[in-house]
Amino acid sequence: MPRIAIAGFSHETNTFAEGLTTFDDFVRGRGFPGLMRGEELVRVLTGKSMCTGAFIHAAEELGFELAPLLWTFPQPSGLIEQDAYDRVLALLLEELRAALPVDGVLLELHGAMVTEGLEDAEGDILAHVRGVVGPEVPVIATLDLHANISPLMVEKSESLVGYDTYPHVDAWERGLDAARMMLVAVEGRVQPVSALAQVPMLIGPPRQCTLMPPMSEVIALAHEAEERPGILNVTVAGGFPFSDIADCGASVAVTADGDRELAAATAREIGEVIWDRREQFRVRLTPLSEAIGHALATGEGPVLLADGSDNPGGGAPCDGTAMLQAMIEADVPNSTVAIIVDPEAVSGAVEAGVGNEVTLEVGGKTDDRHGPTLTLTGYVRLIADGRYANKGVMYTGVESNMGRTVVFVVGGVEIILTEQRIQPYDCQALRCVGIEPRDRLLIGLKSAVHFRADHGPLSTAIFEVDTPGVHRPDVEQFEFTKLRRPIWPLDEVAEPF
- Provide the sign of the torsion angle of the four alpha carbons 170, 172, 173, 177, taken in this order: positive
Q: Count the alpha carbons within 13 Å of 491 in the hemisphere toward its beta carbon.
A: 13
Cα–Cα distance for residue pair 471/249, rounded to 1 Å = 15
Q: Which is nearer to Zn ion, 48 or 440 (CB)?
A: 48
Q: Which is nearer to Zn ion, 120 or 342 (CB)?
A: 120
Q: Which residue is nearest to Zn ion (CB)?
A: 146
* Residue 103 CB, nearest approach to Zn ion (Å): 30
Q: Which is nearer to Zn ion, 124 or 144 (CB)?
A: 144
φ, ψ of residue 412 to 5 degrees: the values are: -90, 0
Q: Which is nearer to Zn ion, 336 or 396 (CB)?
A: 396
* Residue 31 CB, nearest approach to Zn ion (Å): 17
* Residue 471 CB, nearest approach to Zn ion (Å): 12
Query: What Å distances lie between residue 261 and 197, 224, 270, 355, 427, CA to CA?
Result: 12, 18, 14, 68, 45
Cα–Cα distance for residue pair 42/68, rounded to 1 Å = 7
DSSP letter for each residue of 214-238? THHHHHHHHHHHHTSTTEEEEEEE-
Q: Which is nearer to Zn ion, 148 or 459 (CB)?
A: 148
* Residue 147 CB, nearest approach to Zn ion (Å): 8
Q: b vs e for 280-316, b when ≥16 Cβ sit within 10 Å of the residue's Cβ?
A: ebebebbebeebbebbeeeeebbbbbbbbbbbbbbbb
* Residue 365 CB, nearest approach to Zn ion (Å): 26
* Residue 418 CB, nearest approach to Zn ion (Å): 21
Q: State how beta strands 413-418 and 442-445 pair.
A: unpaired
* Residue 238 CB, nearest approach to Zn ion (Å): 8
* Residue 50 CB, nearest approach to Zn ion (Å): 12
Q: Which is nearer to Zn ion, 144 or 464 (CB)?
A: 144
φ, ψ of residue 365 to 5 degrees: the values are: -105, -15
324 neighbors 376 (Cβ within 8 angstroms): no
φ, ψ of residue 47 to 5 degrees: the values are: 80, -5
Query: Which residues of this protein are in contact with Zn ion, per CB under 5 A?
Result: 144, 146
Cα–Cα distance for residue pair 359/25, rounded to 1 Å = 31
Q: Which is nearer to Zn ion, 144 or 158 (CB)?
A: 144
**How far apart, in Å, do the first and last CA atoms of the chain sit?**
44
DSSP 8-state assignment for residue 80: B
Q: Which is nearer to Zn ion, 209 or 337 (CB)?
A: 209
